[in-house]
Amino acid sequence: MTRLSAYLLPTEKQAPADAEAVSHKLMVRAGLIRQLGAGLWTYLPAGWRVHRKVEQIIREELDAIGAQELLMPVLNPADPWRRSGRIEIDEIFKLEDRKGTEMVLAMTHEEIVTTHVAQVVRSYRDLPQILYQIQVKERDEPRPRAGVLRTREFIMKDSYSFDRDEAGLEESYAKHIAAYDRIFERTGLEWYRVESDVGMMGGSGAHEYMAPCAAGEDEVALAPGYAANVEVASADPQAVELPAPLPEPEEVHTPGLTTVEDVARRLGVPQGAVLKAYPVIAEGRGLVLVMVRGDHRVNEVKLRNALGAQCRPATPDEFAQKIGPAGFIGPVGANAPVVLDDAVADGGYVTGANRPDFHLRGVEPGRDFPFERADVRAVEPGDTVGGEPVRIEKAIEVGNIFKLGTRYSSAIGAHYLDESGRQQLIVMGCYGIGPARIVAAAVEQYADEAGIAWPRALAPFDVELVVISRGESEERTFADGLYEQLKATGLDVLYDDRDAGPGEKFADAELLGAPLRVTVGRRTLAGGELEVQIRRGRERRTLPLDGAAEAVKALWETLP
């Protein structure tokens, strides 16, 4: 029974003043969600329908790879979190029960699921297993933002694989890739599977599923056959015209010129012929001088991975003694190991001279300073991969898959006995999907000036039936009948039977974004034709009244 006259769908003409992202504005305006507090959102009935459609797609595809759904508590004893060490994470909500026992609100469930598996799995015969849940997660986010894109409480599909060995993990991982590819394909989103950083948790591999959209928090580097988070992206640099090295470095006076741009302009060389110095303090290693082309930027995630250690920019005090004065530092004579970016080709470079107001020109890496090579720069638009230019797009992470290895099984103590009776650690993977982000990304990707234009798979309703008539009338009677017939075809129909004018009904229908709108008015009965609007593109068509419900269903099935 979905008659709009009796359905809670509070639409607004004006977006809340504090909304910035398109999905935030439209989801509130369309009556899908309401805010309770920072990063806390209620799904109203129509919004929850969309969320459940996403969940259902996820369930079907995970069940298809043999994953088993379960449900674990959000409220956790602190102990497993202490064992894994993750109790230290600032984002975890912590609380005490009335007896003073420390508890946490789970932000994900590696510790808990591993605890259960450790108790239950004894033998290699009990493996592999894939378990998943669709459950609330709690994170004390430093900055919730953009409606449901980054919230403190959210629903997540999290699955966990348990295998005997690395080869088993590879299989479970491959199954998840297959399931995820199908899930995202079915949602109707534009999406990419990209290589991603494994982070400080170690792990042997990770991918993210990214949906391009303006409100996205990440950036992805894309080229035909290539997709990677810019945090790990690698590409061939654009060429730069380099002067030849001089027989030996030559000092040039560059008073007050501390930026690559200024130095390059003064010396009449391209910015790429200057070497930019980026001193860092690497954990366990001390001061390291990172050198990249002047027209490039250091990518801190790639640098961290290259150094195999956390690092942070060094302060002028920290490098003044061993290298030189801020603004004029360079690798020649520096008392620190030099990491030279892969994009630095052979040639003569301008570098800081390690004394105030001077640079060196004609510097040749290797001859004039020792270095180790690494790929530590951020990919730029126009770089190439396999000869194809790279473009960079904003995107929101809608899913991730991660080879955990034994990080949690060793912390929690999850073992099994192998064929020869030896105790082995279970090898794990974890795999997340954020249904709310899928919803928001779909809004972002397909919205137009009139509102939301859902992909067929996610729309809260398949068809919105609008009757233009107030009170009892021939049109109303006809529309009532058509509503029943449409429902009988299996379509989810929202029937706008409100006592409202046509403009208001059309505007609300387009705001809510069902893929099809069917209009019944005086014209319909007079002309003998039913008017249908395809929401995406707002194209109008007519269908014969005879067999209209089946024709609507058939048209709906052709939509994206």
Partner RNA sequence: CGGGGCGUGGCGCAGCCUGGCAGCGCGCCUGCUUUGGGAGCAGGAGGUCCCGGGUUCGAAUCCCGGCGCCCCGACCA
Applying CB under 7 A, the residues found at the interface with RNA are: 11-21, 24, 35, 37-40, 85-86, 88-91, 108, 142-146, 150, 199-201, 217, 300, 450, 468-471, 501-504, 506-508, 510-511, 519-524, 531, 533
Given the complex with RNA, which of 302 and 359 has the nearer CB atom? Answer: 302
Given the complex with RNA, which of 364 and 497 has the nearer CB atom? Answer: 497
Q: How far is the CB of 339 from RNA (least distance, A)?
A: 19
SS3 113: helix
Given the complex with RNA, which of 146 and 385 has the nearer CB atom? Answer: 146
Q: How far is the CB of 429 from RNA (least distance, A)?
A: 14
Given the complex with RNA, which of 332 and 401 has the nearer CB atom? Answer: 401
Output DSSP code: residue 272. G
Given the complex with RNA, which of 318 and 529 has the nearer CB atom? Answer: 529
CB contact at 8 A, 43 and 51: yes
Rounded Cα gap, residues 185 and 179, in angstroms: 10
Q: How far is the CB of 64 from RNA (least distance, A)?
A: 26
Given the complex with RNA, which of 246 and 450 has the nearer CB atom? Answer: 450
Rounded Cα gap, residues 137 and 241, in angstroms: 52
Q: How far is the CB of 146 from RNA (least distance, A)?
A: 5
- Backbone phi and psi for residue 378, each to the nearest 5 degrees, phi listed first: -80, 135
How many Cα neighbours within 13 Å face the side chain of 500?
15
Given the complex with RNA, which of 240 and 486 has the nearer CB atom? Answer: 486
Q: How far is the CB of 143 from RNA (least distance, A)?
A: 4
Q: How far is the CB of 91 from RNA (least distance, A)?
A: 6
Given the complex with RNA, which of 31 and 352 has the nearer CB atom? Answer: 31
Q: How far is the CB of 321 from RNA (least distance, A)?
A: 26
Residue 356, token pair as written in the block:
């105030």
CB contact at 8 A, 145 and 137: no
CB contact at 8 A, 347 and 323: no
Rounded Cα gap, residues 354 and 431, in angstroms: 49
Given the complex with RNA, which of 353 and 530 has the nearer CB atom? Answer: 530
- Backbone phi and psi for residue 200, each to the nearest 5 degrees, phi listed first: -85, 0
Given the complex with RNA, which of 63 and 217 has the nearer CB atom? Answer: 217
Q: How far is the CB of 199 from RNA (least distance, A)?
A: 5
Given the complex with RNA, which of 34 and 182 has the nearer CB atom? Answer: 34
Computed on alpha carbons and rounded to an integer, the radius of gyration of the chain in Å comes to 29
Q: How far is the CB of 371 from RNA (least distance, A)?
A: 25
SS3 286: strand
DSSP class per residue in 46-63: HHHHHHHHHHHHHHHHHH
CB contact at 8 A, 337 and 279: no
Given the complex with RNA, which of 145 and 322 has the nearer CB atom? Answer: 145
Q: How far is the CB of 399 from RNA (least distance, A)?
A: 13
Given the complex with RNA, which of 37 and 537 has the nearer CB atom? Answer: 37
Residue 95 pairs in a beta bridge with: 103
Q: How far is the CB of 301 from RNA (least distance, A)?
A: 8
CB contact at 8 A, 239 and 229: no
**One-letter-per-residue 3-state SS of 369-427:** CCCEEECCECCCCCCEECCEECEEEEEEEEEEEEEEECHHHHHHCCEEECCCCCEEECE
If one counts every other C-beta atom within 10 angstroms of the C-beta of residue 64, the result is 12
Q: Which residue has the tokens 């030559």?
A: 250
Q: How far is the CB of 404 from RNA (least distance, A)?
A: 9
DSSP class per residue in 218-259: EEEEEETTEEEETTT---BPPP---PPPPSS-EEEE-TT--S
Q: How far is the CB of 171 from RNA (least distance, A)?
A: 23
Residue 253, token pair as written in the block:
């006076």
Distances from the Cα of 338 to the Cαs of 244, 247, 310, 332, in angstroms? 21, 22, 17, 10
